[in-house]
A = this chain, B = another copy of it.
Amino acid sequence: MPKDAFSATSACNYATVRRAARKLGQFYDDIVGPSGLKATQQGLLYQISATGAPTMGEIASAMIMDLSALGHTLKPLIRDGYVETVADSQDRRIRRVRLTKGGEKKLAEAMKLWKVAQQRLEDRIGAEKAERLRSALDEIAKLDLDEPIAS
């Protein structure tokens, strides 16, 4: 048995992506953490900030995330005063999400750290390689994998 019998290079695309996600989570969290935000939260605040005052459905769709999962994830950010939701005046079913002043400030703080993490990672693997990797992952994210009903 090879010494690194437990290095686990799985053939499963899903397992491989999740393993890399955990690794990157450790890395980005270590660096972004001092801002008080998890890297996931920084990413979510960024997504909100970058798209104006998106509705929950728009955010969920963009992030390929379940709507209710998004709702759950927003809770601590709302509790901590970084985010607020306002009912749309046209359609009261819709809730638009936006950063508070404090949220913008906190995001700015976290983004500085994010840049350090991003840069440090790309110094290691190469910006071009990272670019290709993201491109491949985005391709997967955009696939229409609805049951082909191969009847």
Contact = CB atoms under 8 A, between A and B. Distances in A.
A147 B13 contact: no
B137 A17 contact: yes
Interface string A39-65: 110010011000100100011011111
A19 B137 contact: yes
Interface bin, chain A: 35 or more
Contacts of A6: 51, 54, 58-59, 61-62
B118 A13 contact: yes
Given A12-B43, A43-B14, A47-B10, A23 B54 contact: no
B141 A19 contact: yes
A91 interface: no
Please report whether the interface of chain A is mostly helix, strand, loop or mixed according to DSSP: helix
Interface string A119-149: 0111011000110111011111111010110
A142 to B, nearest CB: 7
A64 B118 contact: no
Residue among A16, A51, A148 facing the most chain B CB atoms (10 A cut-off): A16
Given A136-B129, A139-B125, A145-B27, A17 B17 contact: yes
6 nearest A-B residue pairs (beta carbon): A8-B62, A6-B62, A20-B137, A15-B43, A14-B24, A16-B134
